[in-house]
Amino acid sequence: MGSAAKPLSRSERSAESARRCPPGRRTPASSVDVVSGQARITPTRIAVNPLIAGSERITGLGRAVSTVVADQALGLVGSQTPPMRVALVTGTVGVGKSTVGFAVAESAAAHGVSTAFLDVDALSRLWPPPAGDPFRTELILTNLSSIVGNYEAAGAELLVLAWVITESGDLADLEAAVGSSVGAVRLVAPGAVVETRLRMRHQGTEADGLAWHLRRGPELASIQDHGLDLATVDASGAVAEITAAVLDRLGISRT
């Protein structure tokens, strides 16, 4: 009898994510025209997987060093539109990720930044989950890598994501999927605040999931305490105050 398949390690999963997000996936098909026998370079953005870029990767909100390297090679530094920035609002269940993420996107758009918002869990709607992917993480990353370029092509300057991550490797996998670095902020709140929000959310047709989420909330918060080293924002106050703090943490201008 054959032995059961060995689960992929974190590094193997990251490598697989990188394979699905090859360099240049968001690059236009052609950027060189030949006019009157001379090559003419048309400015274009080139984004590659930051995991592949390795030590050349620049940290910072939505900026990959691949763009800089390509610009320098083509002599186009200073002549291009900056690449779309990507921001993540994370935290435990019920802490307010989706509400705050949407408010952040609205605020950025109101101040002149073309902004898209995506509640990443919407990319996981499949029952039952795929074999070997109980939390549908690989499904989410595959779906995300397929659509993120559409937002940039439509003119988005900023993409705000709301999603649960639990360790630094999850952020690396997310960056591989979107093809750029991701600025991330974690929302935190006292357990009593999270419980109140969960009870408000899980009523009526959603009531069946309340018990699971009440158990998962503190458990997930503890996992994130140990697995993540991100800027945090107190999410126990009013949405407007939380949103302003997140914008400041991410370095998104409100002027």
Mean pLDDT by 10 residues, the chain (255 residues): 51 52 42 38 38 38 43 48 94 97 97 96 96 96 97 97 97 97 98 95 87 94 97 97 97 77
For residues 139 and 124, the answer to whether their CB atoms sit within 8 Å is yes
Q: Which residues contact 125 (CB under 8 A, 6 or more apart)?
A: none
Does 2 map to a domain? no
DSSP 17: H
**181 assigned to some structural domain:** yes
In a domain, 158, yes or no: yes
SS3 content of the chain, % helix, strand, coil (to 5): 50, 15, 40
For 141, the domain range is 85-250
Overall domain count for the chain: 1
Q: What is the pLDDT of residue 112?
A: 94
Give residues with Cβ within 8 angstroms of 122, minimum separation 6: none
Predicted TM-score (pTM) of this structure: 0.70
Q: Is residue 187 part of a domain?
A: yes
Taken in order 197, 200, 206, 207, is the CA torsion positive or negative?
positive
Read off the CATH number of the domain in which 200 is found: 3.40.50.300
Query: Would you say residue 33 lies in a domain?
Result: no
* Nearest-angstrom CA–CA distance, 77 and 56: 17
Whether residue 41 is contained in a domain is answered as no
Provide the pLDDT for residue 70: 45
Examine residue 231 and state whether it is found in any structural domain, yes or no. Answer: yes
